Amino acid sequence: MSLLNVERIKLFSTRSPYWCLLLVVVFGLGLSAILSLVEGGANAGVSTSQAGINFAISVIMVMAALAITTEYRFGTIRNSFLAVPKRGKVLAAKTAVVAVIALVVTLITSFAAYYLMVAIHGPDAPANAMDINNADEWRYIWGPAVIVMVAAVIAVSVGSLIRQSAGAIAALLIWPTLESLFPLFGSFGRRVAPWLPFNAGSKFYTAGFSDGQGPPALDGRYPSPNWWQGGLVFVGTAAVLYVVALILLKKRDA
């Protein structure tokens, strides 16, 4: 528990986490408010209340990567390893702190964004647009927080592997973009695209990439994951990266 507390203190010893978390909240609520009012609220709905999720994923990944790359930049990681020789505990504590904070903040923002849209959506919103009638619609609200939490694990792992802030952030932000371009590479790309980590993960909290949200839209001829399969692909990717990061962390010099 003391190690978790140390990692929490280190995380918030700089301003970047505060700004990142504030951006997640402000952008999530702001976009929900805008979509509630534009065109009289014609676009209001349970899923559209979570329109800020892709932005939240990107921002949280930046925060999570900086949580470890900053230590390498200033050399403080050596002090951490001297204090706790078992490096795996340091990585586990850092990952847990960032992931839990990401989960809590995103979950609160998701529910706040939904209820904000319920409160202010315009008169042209479809009838019962904001009603939650089944488990899938509830998942549209809590699902983003789970995906953001897993994305934080991916980001810490990538940060541990690359060790440089600019390189880690660039890799994390370019990754989803590259996945969205796969359908451009013919039938092979369209077949593979839905199963790539971020594309598959999007199925966990919305209709997903393979149902027309990626450029160009896929036409349904190729198999794509359902929501739990997409979630497993995303979690599996995070687990593999974490294990690789842990192995290399123990072998490489600090």
What's the pLDDT band for 209 if we cut at 50, 70, 90?
Answer: low
pLDDT tens sequence across 125-178: 888 889 998 998 999 999 999 999 999 999 999 999 999 999 999 999 999 999
Query: Does residue 221 carry a pLDDT above 70?
Result: no
36 CB-near residues (< 8 Å, 6+ apart): 44, 116, 117, 120, 121, 122, 125
Q: Which two tokens stand for residue 74?
A: 């200033």
Regarding pTM above 0.95, the answer is no
| Distance (Å) of CA 242 to CA 16, 113, 164, 173 | 23, 31, 17, 18
Yes or no: say if 174 and 168 are a contact pair by the CB < 8 Å rule.
Answer: no
- DSSP code of 225? -
Tell me what pLDDT residue 244 has: 98
Query: Does residue 24 carry a pLDDT above 80?
Result: yes
- DSSP code of 129? T
Tell me what pLDDT residue 27 has: 96
Query: Rounded to whole angstroms, how far apart are CA atoms 130 and 138?
Result: 11
> Residue written as tokens 């964004």?
113
pLDDT tens sequence across 77-124: 999 999 999 999 999 999 999 999 999 999 999 999 999 999 998 888
| Distance (Å) of CA 67 to CA 22, 108, 112, 158, 188 | 16, 22, 27, 11, 37
Residue 212: left if φ>0, alpha if ψ -120 to 50, beta else—which one?
left
Query: Does residue 250 carry a pLDDT above 80?
Result: yes
